[in-house]
A and B are shown apart, each in its own frame.
Chain A
Amino acid sequence: MRKGMKAMLMVALAGGAATAQVARPNALWFNKVITPERSRQLYVGLNQNMWILYDLPQCVIYQAWMGAAAGGSLVMASVTVSPGYWFGGGPHFPHMYVTSGTNFFKDQVGEYFATYTVPSQITTYYTRWPAQPLNYHAWTVRNASGLDVGAVIRFRGYTVPGNVFTLRFGLVLPGNGGEITVTESPEYSNAGGRNNLVRTLTFAGIPAGYQVRLEHLGGAAGNWVVTSGSATLLTGAMVQTANGQTILTGSW
């Protein structure tokens, strides 16, 4: 993003936090859904021009789109998913969410399997359901030596006071190393005449010398810029090395 645009965005976003109920495009502006790809998804309608989908186990935004008032619709599953495998008997009632509109980006995300899953079963499973990437980690933590410590992403839920959505999660460090807590509040802005997804991230509990990395920004890395805070963008990832707040903005 060019410097001028970044400055314009920062001015637009400096208006202060909303105190009144923030208007959303739909009464059902946040909703946990099953999509044709996977379960444990949550859409958030920030604005008619900005809908986002979180993968909750990975705590990552993997789809953003211009979705009008509804963002999509709930449909009978057999309409969208091969009935021969998943729904041979037909669905019971509509519950699968299909987005509609124009995507800003849509990435693949790894499937979540229970921690007690036998690894060989994952291999077997992917022979029939190979769509999602293996060994996917949206967030990683590296130690002072730059090595991935194998932190476990732990989704903690979300809050919605005043129609402001905040995702809460942790990155659990191995060996009783504690937990780095992270929150993310996404918001829409039309600053600069563009559709902007403004992500306010807060970090606490980052050990000295460690770095927290958001490995998948969403779509092309070139659409993203750090508009506030200490994070840096590095080879397609956002890298955070200190506690505190960072604002990451994507524009389309």
Chain B
Amino acid sequence: MKQAKWVAPFAISFVSFAAAQRPGDRQNETAINPAYSVQRIRPAALSWPIGGMDWLSDGRMVVTSWRDPYGVFILSNAITGANPTTATVTEFATGLVEALGVKVVNDSIYVLEKDQLTLVLDNNGDGKADEYRAIAYDWTKSVNEKEYAVGLAFDGTYFYGIYGDPTIGNGTSIDPEPAGRLNGVIRFRKSDGLTEPFSGGTRVPGGIDMAFGQVWATETQGGYRVSHALFIPKTGRFYGRPVNPAPLFQPAAASSPNVNPNPYTSATQMASIATPFSVNIPFKNNSAAGGGPLGLMRMPGNPVALATGPYAGQMLIPEADRETNGEMTRVFVEMTPDGEYQGAAFHFTSNTAFEGTAVFNLKYGPDGNLYAGGNGSSAAGWGRVTNIGLDRMRLTGATPFDILAVRNTGASTFEVQFTKPLAATLGTDVTADLVATKWWDRISDTYGCCRANITNLTVTSAIVQTDRSKVVVTINGLTLHWIYYLRWLDVIRSDLNEVLWGTEAWYTLNAFGPAIAPVAVENNSAPGSGPFAVTRSAAGLRVHVFFQNGAPYNAQIADVRGKTITSHAGRGSEEFLFPQNALPMGVYVLKLKSGSRTYSRLGFR
């Protein structure tokens, strides 16, 4: 495994080649980010593309197959152990329709099919489903195959699925659309299946998941999409892709393509009609976009919030298409003063790390590692093969020299933070080492088109701050709803003389900062360390603490941005339970404080 991008002793002579591209600098990564290792864990019996993934409370993995016939399979909990390829694979349910979403709630398995939300039950306890209970199906579903339903996110009350519209060649939508078809987000109340259209204007969804206590979703480049998109679906919002006739949430100003295939005329006008995305993630090929820098990925999977490691508090988005040069992408987001999110996309890891396939699902496992489920894509596009991937991503303990974050701090300033201090030899003024470009994504019915008004910017200044890990960048005249591309020349070095893992950042600017600062997430203790043990069950999270001499302690459950959800105070050695309904959906952190010591551990629901 490639651990870091070290400068060889003789590399000083290479600096003159700084204009040459290399992985992470105007080229896609070709290796695994040094912060992680990737292990093949696919049992041989698992020989089909993975549609959805989740976990039972006893550590078994639940996966849905993306292959005729569509089914639900259960992998024994050896999948998280030392010999994961020995995990048994048992068919639990079959006869479903494109089951691209699965969510386990209190050990009950909910499956989102293209046409239905289904609760799959084993009433007689023989290990096979014997009941397929229809929870919800109140959405129009024609015979068109691209009417995807992707999920499932669950916020404790509602399930959320995200839906594509029926498209034909080159991303053009069918006209007229099937009556009542909603290309957007639909949510379903778990208690009674109440179905509520939630938001509109999406195209081909990539994934939807809980992060930072909210539902996040991704969208795919194509018709009315220059870039991929990461966003928080909100009630009643419209996200830009009009169809004919207009479905719910599509405003009149968003002309359908049969009336005007180019309804958006400026960044500001577009933002007044369609809710801006939090982060536009550049498509890996820039030709359809009309030029500008190369991008990162071909199709996004579900977003995952990281709770540990050097990128804690950020998100990873897997590459869901088998694009040889595509990347699992990292995203930093910050909350703007108006309560929305915006942020930047970065290089992260070559897609080739995952068995030569694409990763549609990325999920935390009960052991705190990430699990990447392959979707069987055999080539760029939509072919499917059976030799798919299932891989485990572990933190290595290494921290690459990288752009950690880009923050907007005002109408003319960004703050760029690196994972390590910059080399002293760079001095304090690195203005000449930064290239900046901006454009806005003028979406239209033309596939993947186009970046509008691509403009090279003058960097007024880029000044290294006292701790040498941050640089304040001044660019006069920043404009809202544009995308800012920042590239550091490949002369930037850390204080250990490392080159950058990735030199580029793509920042979506929707509101001027400074942002609302998140609470820092503390580093995780490895399972088995610290004066406590945890056991997960359907009842909740049972914690056994053993502080000596009756020492007082405080236990907290926090989200990945550090917000305390619930807490428990006690003394000495004892057990207590955080009930299931007290745990936040998605990833959370258990913190234990006693005296001056703090311990923390990742969990998920």
Contact = CB atoms under 8 A, between A and B. Distances in A.
A194 interface: no
Interface stretch (A12-20, A25-33, A172-180, A228-236): A25-33
Given A30-B95, A34-B97, A39-B143, A117 B180 contact: yes
B144 A87 contact: yes
A7 B97 CA distance: 41
A93 B149 CA distance: 16
Interface stretch (A153-161, A204-212, A239-247): A153-161
A157 B134 contact: yes
Nearest to A31: B95
B168 A36 contact: no
Interface in B146-181: 146, 166-170, 172, 174, 176-181
Interface string B353-381: 00000000000000000000000000000
Contacts of A87: 144-145, 168
Residue among A88, A90, A117, A155 facing the most chain B CB atoms (10 A cut-off):
A117
A161 B115 contact: no
B384 interface: yes
B179 A92 contact: no
Interface in A79-128: 81, 85-96, 112-118, 120-122, 124-125, 127-128
Contact of A32 (B113, B129, B138, B176): B113
A122 B179 CA distance: 5
Given A88-B168, A88-B169, A161-B130, A28 B180 contact: no
A48 to B, nearest CB: 18
B339 to A, nearest CB: 28
Nearest to A57: B137
A159 B139 CA distance: 23
Given A77-B145, A114-B182, A157-B134, A89 B169 contact: yes
B309 interface: no
B130 to A, nearest CB: 4
B123 interface: yes
A61 B96 CA distance: 19
A215 interface: no
B140 interface: yes
A8 B324 CA distance: 66
A85 B142 CA distance: 12
B118 interface: yes
Interface residues of A, number: 52
A30 B96 CA distance: 9
Nearest to B382: A92
B140 A113 contact: yes
B261 interface: no
B140 A95 contact: no
Contact of B131 (A120, A122, A159): A159
Contacts of A22: none
Contacts of B178: 113, 125, 129
Residue among B116, B118, B134, B170 facing the most chain A CB atoms (10 A cut-off):
B134
Residue among B134, B143, B177 facing the most chain A CB atoms (10 A cut-off):
B143
Given A39-B141, A40-B116, A157-B118, A125 B176 contact: yes
Contacts of B170: 89
Contacts of B540: none
Residue among B114, B138, B182 facing the most chain A CB atoms (10 A cut-off):
B138
A115 B88 CA distance: 43
B383 interface: yes
Interface in B175-225: 176-182, 197
Contacts of A81: 143
B384 A113 contact: no
B387 to A, nearest CB: 15
B245 A93 contact: no
Classify the secondary structure of A's interface with B.
loop
Contacts, number: 145
Contact of B382 (A35, A93, A128): A93
A127 B179 CA distance: 11
B133 interface: yes
B106 to A, nearest CB: 19
A74 interface: yes
Contacts of B236: none
A125 B167 contact: no
A114 B67 CA distance: 27
Give the interface size class of chain B: 35 or more
B133 A156 contact: yes
Nearest to B377: A92
A124 B124 contact: no
Classify the secondary structure of B's interface with A.
loop
A30 to B, nearest CB: 5
A78 B12 CA distance: 58
B572 interface: no
A116 B142 contact: no
Contacts of B180: 113-114, 116-118, 121-122
Contact of B115 (A40, A77, A96): A40
Interface in B90-128: 94-98, 113-116, 118-119, 123-124
B168 A89 contact: yes
Contact of B114 (A39, A42, A91): A39
A93 B383 contact: yes
A87 B167 CA distance: 8
Contact of B95 (A28, A36, A57, A88): A28
B145 A159 contact: no
Contact of B138 (A35, A114, A128): A114
Contacts of A34: 97, 143, 145
B141 A28 contact: no
Interface in A32-90: 32-40, 42, 56-57, 74, 77, 81, 85-90
Contact of A38 (B98, B143, B166): B143
B377 to A, nearest CB: 10
Contacts of A96: 143
Contact of A95 (B98, B118, B182, B383): B98
B68 interface: yes
Interface string A119-150: 01110110111000000000000000000000
Residue among B166, B170, B178 facing the most chain A CB atoms (10 A cut-off):
B178
A81 to B, nearest CB: 6
B382 A86 contact: no
Interface in B235-258: 245, 248
A225 to B, nearest CB: 30
Nearest to A125: B179
A187 to B, nearest CB: 17
Nearest to A97: B68
Contacts of B182: 114, 116
B145 A40 contact: no
Contacts of A128: 176
16 contacts: A28-B95, A31-B69, A32-B113, A34-B145, A37-B143, A77-B143, A88-B172, A96-B143, A114-B182, A116-B138, A116-B197, A117-B179, A121-B245, A124-B245, A129-B178, A161-B130
Interface of A: 28, 30-40, 42, 56-57, 74, 77, 81, 85-96, 112-118, 120-122, 124-125, 127-129, 155-161
Given A86-B142, A113-B179, A124-B245, 13 more contacts: A34-B145, A81-B143, A87-B145, A89-B169, A92-B383, A114-B181, A118-B180, A118-B245, A125-B176, A125-B179, A156-B134, A159-B131, A161-B124
- Closest CB pairs A-B (n = 8): A117-B180, A88-B168, A121-B179, A92-B382, A89-B169, A88-B169, A114-B180, A157-B133
